[in-house]
């Protein structure tokens, strides 16, 4: 039925419910009918060079569809719900979505998944209660528990979260020798941790070149910003020496708010038991501080980026006056005002 000057999906296509391939290319069809799922055996649907602008849920109901061809249609992009639920390939002018099916294979340990399932059921069936605190907890805090078969306890704290990482670290890994990179990472992490400790910050995560620092509730915003300024000074004045003939910069993001803290992990009696337990920080401060860090020091954005919640809580007015509002358009998915500056604290 290609090139038949059709304006609608023809009813004739539904006469044979066992059909496996339909070619309706080079027509003027505007949409796929909602009842397309009635063609249970359909594998290939050719709709190239039509007038389709969007897809609906109906196409997801075709049980055995393997590929939907949509090139030459005025469709701008595939809807998110289609990508999340489609069990078939889709080709358009702008993209090719490939479906990777789940492949289930029997493992050698037949009891592992059952054991994990029972433990997860125990976690689901029991709640977690939270108690307020003003000082940053650590993984050895006895008031935070993670039993799977009884009520768990966590903590809540109003705090500043600071993230810092190296700019262009991927490129640096390509450009420099292992010995140079070892000096760079060792120096950077040492300096950040030493400065964080000086400004009463608590390091709670180190992932490669990214460090997470959390501050006690009292004066948390002032201490976090001063810590950021000291880190930036250290990076500008010293870190360049670790990578000759290259520049060095870092990005710092800071956000303030309420954080819920829980302990996660596995009881392990081997030498690696410390690596099987950690704290998880649930809440906006960590997530949004991380996003600010991703942009800080890039795209003409200052190397220190703070949220409005941090800015308005700064009690050190001379410090506060250094910050200027950053163009909000540069921060996607962030609905608050962002301030920034290149603060250097000796």
Q: pLDDT at position 192, please?
A: 97
Per cent of the chain over pLDDT 90 is 77
Domain CATH for 45: 3.80.10.10
Confidence of residue 147 (pLDDT cuts 50, 70, 90): confident
**What are the CB-based long-range contacts (under 8 Å, 24+) for 237-242?**
238/187, 238/191, 239/184, 239/187, 239/188, 239/191, 242/180, 242/183, 242/184, 242/187, 242/188
Confidence of residue 79 (pLDDT cuts 50, 70, 90): very high
Work out the burial of residue 311: count CB atoms within 10 Å of its CB; fewer than 13 is exposed, 13-18 middle, 19 or more buried.
buried
Distance from C-alpha of 48 to C-alpha of 69, rounded to nearest angstrom: 6
DSSP letter string, 26-53: SS------GGGGG-TT--EEE--SS---
Q: pLDDT at position 78, please?
A: 92
Say whether both 133 and 276 belong to one domain: yes
Average pLDDT, the chain: 93
Helices (H), 176-216: 178-198
* Number of domain units in the chain: 2
Say whether both 238 and 329 belong to one domain: yes
Whether 284 has a pLDDT exceeding 80, the answer reads yes
pTM value > 0.95: no
pLDDT of 293-346, one tens digit each? 999 999 899 999 999 999 999 998 888 999 999 998 888 788 899 999 999 999
Whether 225 has a pLDDT exceeding 80, the answer reads yes
CA distances (Å), origin 3, targets 25, 29, 149: 6, 11, 65
Domain CATH for 214: 3.30.70.1230
Say whether both 39 and 150 belong to one domain: no
Per cent of the chain over pLDDT 70 is 99
Range of the domain at 50: 11-97
Instruction: Please count the residues of the chain.
Output: 346
- Domain annotation covers residue 280: yes
Backbone angles phi, psi at 15, to 5 degrees: -70, -30
pLDDT of 182-224, one tens digit each? 999 999 999 999 999 999 999 999 998 999 999 999 999 999 9
Distance from C-alpha of 278 to C-alpha of 301, rounded to nearest angstrom: 33
Whether 268 has a pLDDT exceeding 80, the answer reads no
Closest alpha carbon to 296 in 213, 288, 97: 288
Say whether both 35 and 169 belong to one domain: no
Say whether both 23 and 137 belong to one domain: no
Please, are residues 226 and 199 in contact by the beta-carbon 8 Å criterion?
yes
Confidence of residue 271 (pLDDT cuts 50, 70, 90): confident
Distance from C-alpha of 110 to C-alpha of 204, rounded to nearest angstrom: 37
Least confident of 20-34, 54-68, 111-125: 111-125
For 88, residues 6+ apart whose C-beta sits below 8 A from its C-beta are 62, 65, 66, 67, 68, 99
Residue whose pair of structure tokens reads 């401060």 in the numeric block = 285
Q: pLDDT at position 265, please?
A: 86
pLDDT of 103-126, one tens digit each? 888 888 888 889 889 888 888 888
Q: pLDDT at position 9, please?
A: 95
Say whether both 189 and 246 belong to one domain: yes
Backbone angles phi, psi at 72, to 5 degrees: 80, 15
| Mean pLDDT value across residues 42-46 | 97
Whether 285 has a pLDDT exceeding 80, the answer reads yes
Closest alpha carbon to 297 in 249, 345, 237: 249
Q: Which two tokens stand for residue 336?
A: 């608050």
Say whether both 181 and 295 belong to one domain: yes
- Domain annotation covers residue 102: no
Q: pLDDT at position 255, please?
A: 97
- Domain annotation covers residue 169: yes
Distance from C-alpha of 239 to C-alpha of 259, rounded to nearest angstrom: 32
Say whether both 262 and 216 belong to one domain: yes
Q: Which two tokens stand for residue 143?
A: 């008031």
Q: pLDDT at position 110, please?
A: 80
Query: DSSP character for 283?
Result: S
Say whether both 82 and 140 belong to one domain: no
């Amino acid at each position: 039925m290609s090139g038949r000057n059709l304006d609608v999906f023809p009813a004739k296509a539904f006469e044979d419910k066992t059909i496996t391939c339909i070619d309706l290319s080079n027509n003027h069809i505007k949409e796929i009918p909602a009842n397309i799922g009635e063609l249970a055996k359909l594998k290939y649907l050719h709709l190239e060079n039509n007038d389709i602008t969007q897809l609906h849920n109906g196409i997801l109901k075709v049980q055995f569809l393997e590929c939907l061809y949509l090139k030459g249609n005025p469709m701008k992009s595939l809807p998110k719900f289609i990508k999340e639920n489609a069990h078939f390939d889709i080709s358009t002018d702008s993209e090719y979505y490939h479906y990777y099916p789940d492949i289930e294979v029997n493992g050698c340990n037949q009891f592992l998944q059952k054991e994990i399932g029972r433990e997860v059921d125990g976690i689901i069936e029991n709640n977690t209660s939270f108690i307020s605190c003003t000082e940053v907890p650590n993984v050895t805090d006895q008031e935070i528990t993670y039993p799977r078969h009884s009520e768990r306890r966590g903590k809540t704290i109003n705090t500043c979260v600071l993230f810092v990482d190296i700019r262009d670290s991927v490129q640096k890994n390509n450009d420099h020798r292992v010995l140079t990179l070892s000096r760079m990472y060792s120096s950077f992490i040492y300096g950040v941790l030493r400065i964080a400790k000086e400004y009463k910050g608590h390091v709670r995560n180190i992932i490669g070149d990214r460090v997470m620092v959390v501050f006690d509730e009292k004066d948390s915003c002032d201490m976090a910003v001063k810590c950021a300024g000291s880190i930036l000074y250290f990076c500008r004045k010293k870190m360049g020496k670790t990578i000759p003939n290259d520049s060095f910069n870092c990005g710092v993001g800071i956000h303030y708010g309420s954080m819920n803290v829980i302990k996660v992990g596995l009881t392990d009696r081997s030498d690696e038991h410390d690596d099987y337990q950690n704290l998880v920080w649930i809440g906006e401060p960590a997530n949004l501080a991380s996003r600010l860090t991703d942009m800080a020091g890039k795209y003409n954005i200052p190397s220190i980026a703070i949220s409005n919640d941090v800015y308005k809580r700064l009690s050190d007015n001379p410090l506060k006056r250094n910050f200027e509002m950053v163009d909000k358009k540069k921060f996607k998915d962030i609905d608050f005002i962002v301030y920034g500056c290149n603060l250097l604290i000796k």
